[in-house]
Amino acid sequence: MSKKVLIISTSIRNNSNSEALAEAFARGAKDAGNEVEIVSLRGKDITFCKGCLACQRVGHCVIQDDANDITERILNAEVVVWATPIYYYGMSGQMKTMIDRANSLYSQDYQFRSVYLLSTATEDEPHVDEDVVKGVNGWVACFEKARFVGKVFAGGITEPGAIAGHKGLNKAYDMGRSIA
């Protein structure tokens, strides 16, 4: 049975390596027969959460920008995939801001059950993505019907496009292909 897969690419760099992982994951998920959408945060107007919690009362953020549309897409997806470059051992600021702005989902009847993480970094040590995984797991912990399913970390890549030929692309494709 086909699933609705939403991939959120959080890099704002053109030709980004984390977006290449997102595209590989998308190809795999499409090849498995799923409905796939990639949303890029590049060029989007997404301001910081004010912490007012009005979203819990009205069901959406009261700040009028692009975050509300993306949050609606998250709400209706069955699978959510975050793709981010790793900066200083953490997720991109854009990703953290989007996660904060999706606060209205806590009180909603969200559809997603599976959450994945795709990340890239210049450093290549196995521990480089630990804090990003911890951050995504912290978000997932707020949704009792959802679970963190898996991750692909592609390290040792720096400039845009350097991921070409990296084994992480095959891993991302295979992970997307496994969604059934």
What pLDDT, on a 0 to 100 scale, did the predictor assign at position 180?
86
pLDDT one-digit tens code per residue, 75-112: 999 999 999 999 999 999 999 999 999 999 988 999 99
pLDDT of amino acid 158? 86
CATH number at residue 110: 3.40.50.360
- The yes-or-no verdict on residue 127 having pLDDT over 90 is yes
Classify 165 as helix, strand or coil.
coil
Beta bridge partners of 87: 90
Cα 180 to Cα 177: distance, rounded to the nearest angstrom: 8
| Angle made by CA atoms 165, 171, 173, in degrees to the nearest 5 | 90
Domain with 95, as residue range(s), is 4-177
Positive or negative: CA dihedral 102, 106, 111, 116: positive
For the chain, how many structural domains are there in total? Answer: 1
Q: What is the pLDDT of residues 47-84, one digit of tens each?
A: 999 999 999 999 889 999 999 999 999 999 999 999 99
Q: Mean pLDDT over residues 121-134, rounded?
A: 96
Residues 14-56: pLDDT tens digits?
Answer: 889 999 999 999 999 999 999 999 999 999 999 999 999 999 9
| Predicted confidence (pLDDT) per residue in 132-177, tens digit | 999 999 999 999 999 999 999 999 998 888 999 999 999 999 999 9
